């Protein structure tokens, strides 16, 4: 792998970001394969998310990168240098945990100073770095407060400062916002993005919150049962999911199942219980007769629009007014319930029980292979 020399200088601090390479990493606990043969390169300066449901192996992988766990097989490299045998404190990683993990009776400054003291830096240099990092997380005025007198959001800012003050080449964040309320989470998301954009540290962020991942990530990996199901930018993952699990875990979607009837001229025709669906999304090597499920995002389903393809009569079975949007549940052919949304709903246009015409653009129907469990 090429050596990278990516660095950023911000007042009083010097950040050098590295590439993190996972090469067939496996980590098992007894018979549980928490991480199962995963490979990926996270480029210098990325804000990379590991996203997946509880128990999929995100934290275990983060701990392998931090050095708290040694992989059973595979190689971890930072900028091409093998790290498997390098102890955590020599990896130059900073870590932030969900529960802050601060020393409660020490002051803000003492907490942030801890890692610098371990590195035996002179008092004067330490003070400069502490001031600079407390400015970065906007907490300098709290420098002499014991951390147990701070709010949750303020404590997490200090945890971030403590991780950043050692000028790590990789920043590891394990569900850092999960203990905070919704408004604070939104604020801190923006701040973490801002800090990342100023420092350009390679950052690996674990979460099960898809909104957090979509709104912050440069790229992300969707994990399930210890493996990566799909990696890509938030737009790629949302617009072009390659797997039904990804389509339903990231955002909301409708599924209509059927069998491939024909593939020609970049168009796939799928035979389904509601009729033929025509899709322009041919991302897999389908064969006629193959069983698939079609992912259709609610916001792409149109009501009463002229269209020559993918038109169906439907009954409006349920309407939910949510202010910014109105959600409609529609029943097609008495057997498929699908959702659509209407933005900026001003007046009551429709009632439950109404018959409507539904159309779905061919570029919004994404046929996905169904895993063969036989």
Binding site for ligand ATP (CB under 6 A): 29, 32, 34, 52, 54-60, 208
Written as six digits, the tokens of 206 are 């674990």
Six token digits for residue 181: 């309320």
| Residue closer to ligand ATP, measured from CB, 57 or 367 | 57
Among 228, 229, 226, 221, residue whose Cα is nearest residue 34:
226
Coil, strand or helix at 23: strand
Nearer to ligand ATP, 30 or 144 (CB): 30
Nearest distance, CB of residue 228 and ligand ATP, angstroms:
12
Q: How far is the CB of 55 from ligand ATP (least distance, A)?
A: 4
Q: Tokens 């200088």 correspond to what residue?
A: 9
The dihedral sign for the CA sequence 95, 97, 100, 106: negative
Residue closer to ligand ATP by CB (options 51, 332) is 51
DSSP assignment string, 288-318: TT-EEEEEE-GGG-EES---SSSEEEEEEEE
Helices 123-136 & 108-118, crossing angle to 10 degrees?
130
Minimum Å gap between C-beta 110 and ligand ATP is 29
Nearest CB to ligand ATP, comparing residues 52 and 367? 52
Distance of CA 332 to the CA centre of its chain: 33
Write down the least CB distance from residue 98 to ligand ATP, Å.
8
Radius of gyration for the alpha carbons in the chain, expressed in angstroms and rounded: 25
Least Cβ distance, residue 69 to ligand ATP (angstroms): 8
Smallest gap, in angstroms, from Cβ of residue 315 to ligand ATP?
39
Q: Report which DSSP code applies to 310.
A: S
- Asked if residues 136 and 144 have their Cβ atoms less than 8 Å apart, the reply is no
The Cα–Cα gap between 33 and 171 comes to 25
CB of 52 to ligand ATP, least distance (A): 6
Least Å from the CB of residue 157 to ligand ATP: 22
Which alpha helices (DSSP H) does 166-243 contain, by range? 182-199, 210-216, 234-239
Name every residue whose Cβ is closer than 8 Å to that of residue 317 and which is 6 or more positions away in sequence: 329, 330, 331, 337, 352
Sequence-ordered list of residues with C-beta below 8 angstroms from that of 370, at least 6 positions apart, any chain: 244, 257, 291, 292, 293
Kindly state the helix (H) or strand (E) to which residue 62 belongs, with its residue range: helix 58-66
Cβ at position 144, least distance to ligand ATP in Å: 34
Give me the least distance between CB of 177 and ligand ATP, in Å please.
Answer: 13
As a whole number of Å, the end-to-end CA separation of the chain is 40
**Structure token pair of residue 63:** 């701990």
Q: Could you give the dihedral angle defined by the CA atoms of residues 120, 122, 125 and 127, in that order, rounded to the nearest 10 degrees?
A: 90
C-alpha distances in angstroms, 73 versus 19, 39, 153? 20, 12, 38
Nearer to ligand ATP, 16 or 206 (CB): 206
């Amino acid at each position: 792998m090429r050596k990278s020399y990516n660095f950023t200088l911000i007042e009083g601090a010097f950040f050098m970001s590295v590439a993190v390479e996972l090469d067939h990493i496996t980590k098992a606990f007894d018979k549980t394969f928490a991480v199962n043969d995963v490979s990926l390169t996270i480029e210098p300066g990325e804000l990379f998310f590991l996203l997946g449901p509880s128990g999929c192996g995100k934290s275990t992988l983060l701990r392998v990168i931090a050095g708290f766990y040694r992989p059973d097989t595979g190689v971890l490299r930072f900028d091409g240098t093998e790290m498997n045998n390098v102890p955590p404190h020599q990896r130059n990683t900073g870590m932030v945990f969900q529960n802050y993990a601060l020393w409660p009776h020490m002051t803000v400054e003492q907490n942030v100073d801890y890692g610098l003291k371990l590195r035996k830096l002179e008092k004067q240099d330490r003070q400069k770095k502490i001031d600079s990092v407390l400015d970065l997380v906007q907490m300098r005025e709290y420098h002499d407060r014991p951390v147990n007198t701070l709010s949750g959001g303020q404590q997490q800012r200090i945890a971030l400062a403590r991780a950043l003050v050692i000028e790590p080449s990789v920043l590891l964040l394990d569900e850092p916002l999960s203990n905070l309320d919704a408004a604070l989470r939104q604020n801190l998301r923006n701040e973490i993005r801002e800090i990342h954009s100023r420092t350009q540290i390679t950052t690996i962020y674990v979460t099960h919150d898809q909104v957090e991942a979509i709104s912050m990530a440069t790229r992300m990996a969707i994990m399930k049962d210890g493996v990566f199901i799909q990696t890509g930018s938030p737009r790629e993952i949302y617009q072009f999911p390659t797997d039904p699990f990804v389509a339903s875990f990231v955002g909301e979607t409708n599924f209509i199942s059927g069998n491939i009837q024909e593939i020609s001229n970049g168009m796939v025709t799928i035979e389904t219980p509601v009729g033929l669906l025509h899709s322009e999304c041919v991302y897999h090597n389908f064969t006629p007769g193959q069983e698939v499920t079609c992912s259709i995002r609610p916001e792409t389903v149109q009501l009463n629009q002229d269209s020559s393809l993918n038109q169906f009569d439907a009954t409006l079975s349920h309407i939910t007014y949510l202010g910014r949007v109105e959600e409609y549940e529609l029943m097609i052919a008495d057997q498929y319930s699908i959702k659509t949304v209407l933005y900026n709903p001003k007046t009551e246009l429709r009632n439950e029980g109404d018959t409507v015409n539904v159309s779905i653009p061919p570029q919004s129907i994404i046929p996905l292979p169904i895993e063969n469990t036989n």
